[in-house]
């Protein structure tokens, strides 16, 4: 079983749609939680950190449920430029990042 599990998709949605991604993690000792975005053949870039209280950055909302070991990302009003792979990431107490497989989003006009 992978330490971080995500549905690989692809998710194909029209512009303006709301889309939600989920992931689960297996190590209850995980320290920090993130969503990274990766465009085709590029490096991952931090999208946002994820906190138990939930946090929002514009059209993006992330949520962490430590009891269920579950992380979510909600994208509202999808744009064509949101098309990418979204990586769910947890970090250990040593700081190393453990990535999920990634979920591919394709936003269509």
Partner 1 sequence: DTGVSQNPRHKITKRGQNVTFRCDPISEHNRLYWYRQTLGQGPEFLTYFQNEAQLEKSRLLSDRFSAERPKGSFSTLEIQRTEQGDSAMYLCASGTGSDTQYFGPGTRLTVL
Site for partner 1 in 12-31 (CB under 8 A): 31
Q: What is the 3-state secondary structure (H, E, C) of the chain?
A: CCCEEECCCCEEEECCCCEEEEEEECCCCCCEEEEEEECCCCCCEEEEECCCCCEEECCEEEEEECCCCEEEEEECCCCHHHCEEEEEEEECCCCCEEECCCEEEEEEC
Minimum CB separation from partner 1 for residue 62, in Å?
15
Q: Specify the residue, 18 or 26, whose C-beta has the smaller distance to partner 1.
A: 26
Interacting residues with partner 1 between 54 and 83 (CB under 8 A): none
Residue ranges in contact with partner 1 by CB under 8 A: 4, 8, 31-32, 34, 42-46, 49, 87, 89, 91, 94-102
């Amino acid at each position: 079983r992978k330490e971080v599990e995500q549905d690989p998709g692809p998710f194909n949605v029209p512009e303006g749609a709301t889309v939600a991604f989920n992931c689960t993690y297996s190590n209850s000792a995980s320290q920090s939680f993130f969503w990274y975005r990766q465009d085709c053949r590029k490096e991952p870039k931090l999208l946002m950190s994820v906190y138990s209280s939930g946090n929002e950055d514009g059209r993006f909302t992330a949520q962490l449920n430590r009891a269920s070991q579950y992380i979510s990302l909600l994208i509202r009003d999808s744009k064509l430029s949101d098309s990418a792979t979204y990586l769910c990431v947890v970090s250990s107490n040593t700081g190393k990042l453990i990535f999920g497989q990634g979920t591919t989003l394709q936003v269509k006009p």
